[in-house]
Amino acid sequence: MTVPLFPLPNLVLFPGVALPLYVFEERYRALLRDVQASGEPFGIVRVLASSQASPLPFQERVSRVGTLAHLRRAQLHDDGTSTILVVGGERFEVQDFHLDRPYLSADVRVWPLEDSGVGEEAEHADARQLLAALLRLRPDDADEIRQGAPDDPLLMASFAANVLPLDSDQREDVLRASTVIDRLELLLGMVPSSAKTLN
C-alpha cells in the first residue's frame, strides 16, 4: 500500500494511542486534504536527523518503521491551519519512498506482531507487572495511571511506552519488537531501577 507520510522529530506513535497534531505547513495541509478525501490512514515516522545535523536528503533522514495514523477528528481554522486527532493503528515498514507529491509518501508493508507462543496468561502477567512498575515510578499520578491503563497487553505496552521516561531510540526499539511479550519485557527492562521491585 502507498501512504502519505507525516515525519515528526523524536516521536514514535504506538497502536491505540491518541495523538493531537497541529497542521500548519502547506505540504501537510495538502496531506490532510488528501487523507480526508480518501478516508485512508497516513503514516507517522520519526525524523532521525534534522537538516542542520545531516546533509542527507529528507527521505534518508527518516525512519523506515512507523505506524499508521487513523484520522479521528479535524478542525480547520480560519488561517488555513488545522488541529487534528489521530489514533495509532498498524505498524509498518517502508519499502520505497516517493517524491511526486508536496509531501513525502511511501510504499509500505504492514508489519503485524508475531504470535509469541506463550499464551495470553503470560502476556497479562507481564502487563500487570509493568503497570505495577509505573505506579511505583509515579506514585503521585497513581489514580490517573490506573484509570488510563488498558487491560489489553498490547495496548498496555503502548501506554507504558508513553509513560516511561524513554528517549525516541528506545521507543522505536519497543515498536520494532517482534511479539507482544517481547515488547512488554523490553519495556520492563527499561523501567528505572528506582521503580523495580527488590528480590
| Domains parsed from the chain with CATH numbers | 2-110 (2.30.130.40), 120-195 (1.20.58)
Q: Please give the model's pTM, rounded to 2 decimal places.
A: 0.92
Listed in sequence order, the DSSP H helices in 39-119 are none
Q: Write the pLDDT tens digit of every residue in 41-80.
A: 999 999 998 888 888 889 999 999 999 999 999 999 999 9
Q: CA 82 to CA 33: how far, in whole Å?
A: 11
Confidence of residue 28 (pLDDT cuts 50, 70, 90): very high
Q: Is 179 helix (H, G, I), strand (E, B) or coil?
A: strand
Confidence of residue 197 (pLDDT cuts 50, 70, 90): low
Give the torsion sign (CA, 195, 185, 132, 134): positive
Q: CA 20 to CA 74: how far, in whole Å?
A: 10
Q: Write the pLDDT tens digit of every residue in 91-112.
A: 999 999 999 999 999 999 999 9
Is 174's pLDDT higher than 90? yes
